[in-house]
Amino acid sequence: MDRLASWSTWWAEPGADGLRILGGTWMRAVAGFLPGSRVLTQWYAECLFPDGDRDEPAVYDLGSGEQAALLDLAELSVDPENDEFFSAEVLDGHLELVPGRVHPAGGAPQTRHWLLDADTLRPLGRLGYPAPVGEDVTSLGDGTWLTHDGDRVHRWPVSRASS
């Protein structure tokens, strides 16, 4: 018998009489927190379902439990069947960064990073760096982030990484 893995993410408020569940979502993990009681989630159910190979960050309002924004990262793909996206990172209250590996036709895979508006998840542009960067991104929460190139670590503000 095949087993199917799944998970749920719930947000709750502690009280004197226990936890009160405010909302939740299925097959998504929390990727970061945003101002105004909002949370960024990322779909992580790749290959579990026929349509499971989708990369979708979403913003949820923790007060209402409602989904406030959703982005299908296939909009950023060169080749949606082969391109890969990694966990979205909250840079600050206004911006999110999504790293990915795209596979241009006839070319070697390329690492690319995109900026998204934190409220709407609208793509703001692709980042161009003056030095090589990898897929790993570490947000410092102040609008800057770290990448590495071999044994070199780079710290980037939005102003140094042009879009």
In this structure, what token pair is assigned to residue 92? 């600050």
DSSP one-letter code for 44: -
Q: Could you tell me the pLDDT band of residue 4, with boundaries at 50, 70 and 90?
A: very low
Strand, coil or helix: what is 65? coil
Q: φ, ψ for residue 146 (rounded to 5)?
A: -110, 145
Per-position DSSP letters for 70-93, written without gaps between them: E--GGGG-SSTTT-EE---EE-SS
Nearest-angstrom CA–CA distance, 41 and 30: 4
Residue 161 exposure: Cα atoms within 13 Å on the Cβ side: 24
pTM above 0.85, yes or no: no
pLDDT tens per residue across span 61-115: 988 888 999 999 888 888 887 888 888 999 998 999 999 988 888 788 889 999 9
Q: What are residue 139's phi and psi, to 5 degrees? A: -80, 140
pLDDT digits (tens, 9 = 90+) for 41-54: 888 655 555 555 55
Q: Do the Cβ atoms of 29 and 53 come closer than 8 Å?
A: no
CA 121 to chain centre: 10
- Strand positions, DSSP E, the chain: 8-15, 18-26, 28-34, 38-43, 57-61, 67-70, 84-85, 89-90, 95-102, 110-117, 123-126, 138-139, 144-149, 152-157
Chain segment 141-163, per-residue pLDDT in tens: 899 999 998 889 999 998 766 54
What is the rounded distance in angstroms from the CA atom of residue 115 to the CA atom of residue 131?
Answer: 18
